Amino acid sequence: MIPGSVRIGQGVDVHPFSEAEDRALILCGVPVAGGQGLAGHSDADVGLHAVADALLGAAALGDLGARFGVDRPETAGADSTSLLEAVVADVAAAGWQVGNLDVTIVAQRPRLAPHRAAMRAHLAGVCRVEVAAVSVKFTTTDHLGALGRGEGILATASCLLLSQQR
Kindly indicate whether the domain formed by 6-163 is annotated with CATH number 3.30.1330.50: yes
Name the pTM for this structure.
0.94
Name 113's Cβ contacts closer than 8 Å, sequence gap at least 6.
138
pLDDT tens by residue, 39-96: 999 999 999 999 999 999 999 999 998 888 777 778 788 899 999 999 999 999 999 9
**Residues counted in the chain:** 166
In the chain, domain spans: 6-163
How many CB atoms lie under 10 A from the CB of residue 139?
13
Name 117's Cβ contacts closer than 8 Å, sequence gap at least 6.
none
